[in-house]
Amino acid sequence: MHRLRLVIQLGTALAGVMLSAGFGAAQDKPPPSECLAIAQSIPRVMFASFSRAAAEKSEVTITYAGHSTYILETPRNVTIATDFSGAYTAGKSPSVVTMNRAHSTHYTLNPDPRIAHVLHGWGEGGQPARHARMIGDVLIRNVTTDIRAYRFDSEALQKDGNSIFIFEVAGLCIGHLGHLHHPLDETHYAAIGRLDIVMVPIDGTFTLSLDGMSEITRRLRSSIVLPMHRFATPLSDFLARMNGQFEMDIRPERSFTVSRDTLPKKPTVIVLDGV
């Protein structure tokens, strides 16, 4: 009985926090992540859903713009560009951009001043970047990783130079691995949580090896995998390492629309035009 009261109190508190968070502009205290486990230590308990996507149009449009830039358009018209250098926009005008400072093709220090929110994947003064912001209907947070100080020197790492950005919107958990240079450990996976959709660099050289990247992809087991940062790497080289666990869907379009209800039943690598 005591445990039941505890569960009810915890669920009620969670509801209160999420309902009070609202859907306004960037907030100091965003609601808790829906992509992280919150009650793993309480067995046989299922919390009621208080999803921010409830009673709303629940579709997100994803467009491949080029290199490692994808454009996300949320139900409340927040437009996000990942690894934004200014070179790839697909004709969209982003209100939010995320960046990683591995190469100049992944960031710019002079973004268009009309962009309302510029989120760096690196910190200042030796401190890691820390983002957990509610912007419109999307919660944006990050998990930092290290980058190589020199292009092919895997021993010399610059701490927290890259961020895995996670976008929680319309009941979906969408992750962009950025310019990932090393395998993830258990603390990374715990901080990332569930990813329904993941954007994965598959160049195999400038970022992580294909073996390493495919291992991470299998571990995350997202419903949709979106390759990026491919260069001349044959798609078959990446797929061959997936051990038949993922379907492959090559599309002639650069965009698609997705919701929780339309996620594929079997994990699928979706290759958009231009990748």
CATH of the domain at 61: 3.60.15.10
Average pLDDT estimate for 249-272: 96
What local confidence, expressed as pLDDT, does residue 262 receive? 97
How many helices and strands in the chain, by DSSP H and E? 4, 14
Radius of gyration of the chain (CA): 19
Look at residue 4 and tell me if it is in a domain: no
CB 73 within 8 A of CB 258: no
What local confidence, expressed as pLDDT, does residue 269 receive? 96
Average pLDDT estimate for 188-194: 95
Look at residue 84 and tell me if it is in a domain: yes
Q: For the segment 218-243, what is each residue's pLDDT rounded down to a tens digit?
A: 999 999 999 997 877 888 888 888 87
Look at residue 125 and tell me if it is in a domain: yes
pTM of the model: 0.81
- Residue 195: pLDDT band with limits 50, 70, 90: very high
What local confidence, expressed as pLDDT, does residue 172 receive? 97
Structure-token pair, residue 275:
């990748």
Split into its structural domains, the chain has a count of: 1
Look at residue 45 and tell me if it is in a domain: no
Average model confidence (pLDDT) across the chain = 80
Look at residue 48 and tell me if it is in a domain: no
Instruction: Determine the 3-state secondary structure of 120 from DSSP.
Output: strand
Q: Look up tokens 């992540």; give the residue.
A: 33
Other CB atoms closer than 10 Å to residue 8's CB: what's the count? 10
DSSP state at residue 165: E
Element (H, E) at 60: strand 60-66
Q: Look up tokens 């798609």; give the residue.
A: 235
What local confidence, expressed as pLDDT, does residue 160 receive? 74
Q: For the segment 95-131, what is each residue's pLDDT rounded down to a tens digit?
A: 999 998 767 777 788 899 999 999 999 888 878 989 9
Look at residue 8 and tell me if it is in a domain: no
Its domain, for residue 234, covers 57-271
Structure-token pair, residue 182:
């090393």
Look at residue 3 and tell me if it is in a domain: no
Look at residue 140 and tell me if it is in a domain: yes
Question: What percent of the chain has a predicted confidence (pLDDT) above 90?
Answer: 48
More confident residue, 123 or 9: 123
What local confidence, expressed as pLDDT, does residue 260 receive? 95
- Residue 50: pLDDT band with limits 50, 70, 90: very low
